């Protein structure tokens, strides 16, 4: 069992930055690929980015490439999402998720545990 707690969301203006954090419980954090997903009102949950167990591989959705950066600190059981140059279309609830698969996946069905989400609102 893994518990994930996101933090760092908030209300910002377009062009601003935010850093989301996701703290995981348990002693096997380095065994999980970690992903960030987001869900805007009235829309389906969408993949944002994933990082491999050791942090050596990442995959980003096209809309955030060059603006968002994922990183992880395995000794601290934490994954981060640095979001720069935020746009109104980035407004959503952001969820972190942990996957036990041996490969990194962009599909939400590959993830075994989810956080409760943190709201990010970007005003124009």
What tens digit of pLDDT does each residue of 99-124 get? 998 889 999 999 999 999 999 999 99
Q: What is the DSSP letter of 3?
A: -
Q: How far is CA 2 from CA 34, 91, 95, in A?
A: 12, 27, 14
pLDDT of residue 24: 97
CA angle 7–83–49, rounded 5-degree value: 85
With bands split at pLDDT 50, 70 and 90, how would you rate the model's confidence at 26? confident
In Å, how far from its chain's centre is CA 100?
A: 16
Q: Do the beta carbons of residue 50 and residue 35 sit within 8 Å? A: yes
Q: Do the beta carbons of residue 46 and residue 106 sit within 8 Å? A: no
What tens digit of pLDDT does each residue of 33-61 get? 999 999 999 999 999 999 999 999 999 99
């Amino acid at each position: 069992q893994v518990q994930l707690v996101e933090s760092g969301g908030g209300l910002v203006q377009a062009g601003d930055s935010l850093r989301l954090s996701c703290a995981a419980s348990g002693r096997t954090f380095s065994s999980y690929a970690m992903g960030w997903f987001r869900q805007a009102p009235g829309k389906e949950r969408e993949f944002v980015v994933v990082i491999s167990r050791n942090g050596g591989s990442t995959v980003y959705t096209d809309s955030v490439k060059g603006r968002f950066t994922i990183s992880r600190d395995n000794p601290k059981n934490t994954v981060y999402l640095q979001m720069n140059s935020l746009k109104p279309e980035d407004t959503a609830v952001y969820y972190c998720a942990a996957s036990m698969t041996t490969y990194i996946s962009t599909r939400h069905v590959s993830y075994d545990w989810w956080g409760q989400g943190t709201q990010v609102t970007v005003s124009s």
